[in-house]
Each structure stands twice: as structure tokens, then as C-alpha cells.
Structure 1
């Protein structure tokens, strides 16, 4: 390819509208890559925190000690730890109000954990909609740039007496760069979206499983407690 047909020259000689389209696609690609790296780091952090908390949870540590640690790590802990803390907090509040009905205690803790779970999933899904939009819209934006560029090229060729491949090729090539940029922006966004959606689904299943397991632990502990017991938290497994 000679100098006049290089990518840079094609972009510089494209029509103004096509250049705007290319700029939009380039900005979208940069923003999507930034979102991809942020989301990749966030998901790895979530997985690491959840695995660490699960190890502590099943290590035999008392629920009181786990809750004390979770309360201290409210901002720096993982989603599963915050879900656990929400359930224990509600459980303790109900016990402090002298509520002894096991069903009420269990339902309150479960509702608190489900609400915390939803908040954590909303936070985990941040930027997913942006990646989906880039992946679905970018090819059409690039196609618009290509159609506009080809239309502009043929309008210019209409004034020529003799049309050859050498006169047609540059205009067509300039227009096709917009399609290439659209695909360049869309493909990584689609791949990343599918990967992150799958990872977040696994995290959701893991956390829902934990909610059920912790609810079963509370239910067993409530079942063996006497109505006159003043214990604030379950301590056994």
C-alpha cells in the first residue's frame, strides 16, 4: 500500500461526517477498554474476597467473631461478607427487641440478606450495560459512516468525465475505515460483556447458595434454643 492509501491518510482525507463518526467510534473503543479493565479488576476482587470469607466462615470461627470482623470491614470487605453482616445485623436487632419467634427472626435475616444481595449485584453489574451498548451500536455507527462516505465519494465522481478504479478506490477505502473502526470497537466489548456476564452469574449463584446455607444454620440454631435464652447471636454450626 502506498503512502496515499495508508490508514492515516485515508482518515485525514475522509469527509467531515465520516471523520466525526470515526472519532466517536475511537472514543467509544477507548472508553470500553477502560471499562473492561476496571470490570476485570473488580470481578477478580469480588471473587478473591468471597473465597477468603467462605474459608473463614467454614473454618469453625464463631458467628459472633465473624460478624465483628465483617462490621470492621464494611467498606473494604467483599459482597458475601456484607451480605452476612446484613443478616446478622437484622437478626441481632430483632433479638434486642425481644422477638423470640424463630420464623420472624429467620425471615427478617433472610430479607436483609436478599436486599444486600440485590445491592451487591447492582454494583457488580456496573458498566455491563455500557459494554452491551458499545457492542451492539458500534457496527451500525460504522456502517452509517461507510454509507455516508460512499455516497460522498460517488457524488464527487459524478463530476468526472472518466472514472477508473484509481479514482473510485480511495473514496471507497476511506468509507470502509469507518466500518473497520466500528468492528474494532464492537468485538472486544461483546466478548468482554459475555465473559463478565458469565462471571457475574457465577458470583450470584455463589452468593445465593451462601444465603441459603447461612439461613439453614440460623434455622438449626433457632430450633435448639430455648424461648428464655438471652443469647444475641447463634454460635454453633
Structure 2
């Protein structure tokens, strides 16, 4: 019962989290594409904390905060791009931010995995216990009547149902959320490449 209640609570919480992730990322990308200054995007990224892409942009902005005029020029399509060393530093910052975002999105998923794998065995243990109780009743009464067997069999079936009732939602929820994490990991990888290309494009033009 404990595993079932906690699993359902986590499934609801994670579903709500990923809903906010999707909504805030949509809002961030709208600002990112329309804004003419990085400070505008930076301001949006600070507010949209559930968006992984917003947090990546925030990390990149913080990395070049010492030379904000360079970032302004890059976004204005001038010929003053970031140096190779600076681009590498931004890349490292983006990778660190992406790893943190993946860890945040994966939070609590190990509990669902544990529930999915452990509760069937807990249910099986209860099943065996119930069957043992049924046989004990038969031995004590010297009879295999329904009145003697039914309580133990009932306990066994309840234990089986409880184990499956906790495991099935946990398996479904875990697989779904793992796929969502993979999806956002791919999105972050693509955004990282896009942002690095944006920052290096003027330097490439100059060369």
C-alpha cells in the first residue's frame, strides 16, 4: 500500500513537472527567437526555471557575462564572435547545465523503478504466506473445506493484487518519464549546438 500511494503521488508530481517543462520551454523559445538583445532572453530564462533550454541559455550567458558586448554583437550579426577558448568554456558550461537538468528531470524516477521491480516479489511473498496459512489451516482442522482454505487463499490473492497494483502503474510511469527525459536530453543537445553555432558564426564569417 505504501509503495502504491507514493508511486501514484510521484507519477502525478512528475506529470505536472513535465507539463510545466513543456509549457515554459515553448515560452522561452518564443522569446529566444523574437528578442533582439540577450538581456531580454536572459530575463526570461531567469523566470522560466522549469525549462531546460532556458537554464542552458542562462548558463551560457553567465559564462560570457564578463563580455556582454560580444554577445550583443554576435546576436546583431556583426563580425566579433567569441574566441575558440571562450567557445570551449561556453560549451563546458552548457554541458554542466545539461547534466544538472537531466538529473533534475530524473529525480524520483529511481523510486518508480524500485517499486516496479520490487513490489511483484513482495506480492509473491504475500501469496506464498497466504498459501502456507491455508495449508496450516487444513492441517490444524484436518479438513480441506472452503471455510478452512478460503482465508489463506484470500490473503494470497490480496497480496498478489496489491503487488501488481503497485508495480503496473510504476512500470508505465517510469517508462514514460524516462522517454520524456531522453526527449529533453536530445532537445538540450540540439539547443547546445544551435547556441554554439550562433556564437561562432560571425567568427566563421570573418575567417
| TM-score calculated relative to the size of structure 1 | 0.76
Partners of 1:181 and 1:224 in 2: CA distance: 64
Name the residue aligned to 1:127: 108
Name the residue aligned to 2:14: 39
Name the residue aligned to 2:148: 167
Q: Does residue 10 of structure 2 align to residue 29 of structure 1?
A: no
Name the residue aligned to 2:25: 50
Name the residue aligned to 2:139: 158
Partners of 1:77 and 1:168 in 2: CA distance: 55
Cα gap change, 1:63/1:222 in structure 2, threshold over 3 Å: closer, same or farther? farther
By relative contact order (CA 8 Å, sep 6+), the higher-ranking structure is 1
Partners of 2:169 and 2:180 in 1: CA distance: 16
Partners of 2:198 and 2:147 in 1: CA distance: 77
2:63 to 90, 95, 117: 90
Partners of 1:93 and 1:77 in 2: CA distance: 26
Partners of 1:222 and 1:66 in 2: CA distance: 22
| Superposition deviation, residue 67 in structure 1 | 2.2
Q: Does residue 47 of structure 2 align to residue 73 of structure 1?
A: yes
Name the residue aligned to 1:23: none
Q: What secondary structure sits across from 1:157 in the alignment? A: helix
| Superposition deviation, residue 69 in structure 1 | 3.7
Please identify the structure whose Cα radius of gyration is greater: 1
Instruction: Give the gaps of 5 or more residues in structure 1.
Output: 1-25, 227-237
Name the residue aligned to 1:106: 87
1:117-151 residue CA offsets vs partner (Å, 9 max, x unmatched): 11111011111111111111101000001101211
State whether residues 142 and 181 of structure 1, in contact with CA within 8 Å, keep that contact through their aligned partners in structure 2. Answer: yes
Name the residue aligned to 2:76: none
Q: Does residue 191 of structure 2 align to residue 207 of structure 1?
A: no
| TM-score calculated relative to the size of structure 2 | 0.86
Q: What is the aligned length? A: 196
Name the residue aligned to 2:78: none
State whether residues 102 and 223 of structure 1, in contact with CA within 8 Å, keep that contact through their aligned partners in structure 2. Answer: no
Partners of 1:206 and 1:154 in 2: CA distance: 57
Higher helix content, 1 or 2: 2
| Superposition deviation, residue 60 in structure 1 | 4.7
State whether residues 139 and 179 of structure 1, in contact with CA within 8 Å, keep that contact through their aligned partners in structure 2. Answer: yes
